[in-house]
Amino acid sequence: MDHAQKRAVAVDCSPARLMRLVREGSANALDQITRCYSDRLLQAGRRHCRTTEEAEDAVQDALISAGENLGALREDERLEGWLIRVVASACRRLSRGRKNDARLHETDDDDAPGLLGDEDPERDAARHELGELLERTLLTLSPTDRSILLLSELEDFSAAEIGAELDMTAGAVRTRLSRLRATLTATLAGELGRAP
């Protein structure tokens, strides 16, 4: 089969079909998504990343994330947009040098002392307590508020991207995010016995 014949055997790239494969747990799903979207994701990566190598890494991260998380996507037609946002987010992490930051890859494995290169048990205990406090505080938020905060702070989504995900205006997202940050700062400061 020559190159022209291979092109004639087109892959059905409809989001509905691809998401059906994902939901069925098809071993082909990620391969099909890669065939359908890799060029567009690489273009997006080149727009958002500093170098072609970073763009390629970002696309790989997006495809890995797709393999792990895509089954939760509620609307099939948002597939391409979701993938592009993951690429853009990976580019932002790479540009800040966070991809290789060991703190983003902490494990709960107690048998891995010094994972972060921090041998101070008091500091480790304080970090652990702060993490638990932050988790408890986040769980007091409504699911929407928690999503807004996590998408902004962990995924580096812009207000417009968060608004698109949650069917809100960018202005409403910015307002809620500002209030959430102020509330969390005051709550955490109070719990830690410090003035905000």
Q: Does the pLDDT at position 100 exceed 80?
A: no
Report how far residue 120's alpha carbon sits from residue 101's, in angstroms, rounded to the nearest whole number. Answer: 19
Unique residue bearing structure tokens 């082909």: 28
Q: Does the pLDDT at position 178 exceed 90?
A: yes
Unique residue bearing structure tokens 């939901």: 23
Taking residues 127-133, what's their average pLDDT? Answer: 79
Domains of the chain: 11-102 (1.10.1740.10), 121-196 (1.10.10.10)
Q: Over the chain, what is the mean pLDDT? A: 77
Name the CA dihedral angle for 90, 91, 92, 94, rounded to a multiple of 10 degrees. Answer: 90
- pLDDT class of 4 with cuts at 50, 70, 90: very low
Q: What percent of the chain has pLDDT over 90?
A: 8
Question: DSSP secondary structure string, the chain?
Answer: --HHHHHHS-----HHHHHHHHHHT-TTHHHHHHHHHHHHHHHHHHHHSSSHHHHHHHHHHHHHHHHHHGGG-S-GGGHHHHHHHHHHHHHHHHHTT-TT-GGGG----TT-TTTTS---HHHHHHHHHHHHHHHHHHHTS-HHHHHHHHHHHTT---HHHHHHHHT--HHHHHHHHHHHHHHHHHHHHHHHT---
Q: Which two tokens stand for residue 162?
A: 């968060």
pLDDT of residue 177: 92
CA Rg value for the chain: 20
pLDDT of residue 109: 39
- pLDDT class of 185 with cuts at 50, 70, 90: confident
pLDDT of residue 5: 42
Using CB atoms within 10 A of its CB, is residue 66 exposed (0-12), middle (13-18) or buried (19+)? buried
Q: Does the pLDDT at position 106 exceed 70?
A: no
Taking residues 157-180, what's their average pLDDT? Answer: 90
Q: Does the pLDDT at position 39 exceed 70?
A: yes
Taking residues 52-81, what's their average pLDDT? Answer: 84
